[in-house]
Amino acid sequence: MEPYTTAEIFPHIRVVMGTVVGLGITRLLMTFANMVQHPDRRDRSVLHLLWMGSILLELVLFWWWELALFRLDTWNFGIVIFIIFYAVTLFMMAALLCPDNISEYRGYGDFFLKRRHWFFGLLATTFVLDTLDTFIKGGTHLSRFDASYFMQVPIGIILCIIAWRSTNQRVHLFVVGVHIVYQFFLIGRFFYVTQ
Question: If residue 158 lies in a helix (H) or strand (E), which one and from where to where?
Answer: helix 152-165
Single-letter code of the amino acid located at 66:
E
Does residue 163 carry a pLDDT above 90?
yes
Q: Classify the phi-psi angles of 100: left when phi > 0, otherwise alpha if psi is within -120 to 50, otherwise beta.
A: alpha
pLDDT on residue 173: 96
SS3 at position 42: coil
The pTM score is: 0.89
Dihedral angle computed from the Cα positions of residues 85, 195, 51 and 93, in that order, rounded to the nearest 10 degrees: 0
Does residue 40 carry a pLDDT above 80?
no
* Of 134, 54, 138, the residue nearest 94 (C-alpha): 54
pLDDT on residue 35: 85
Check if the beta carbon of residue 194 is closer than 8 Å to that of residue 68. yes
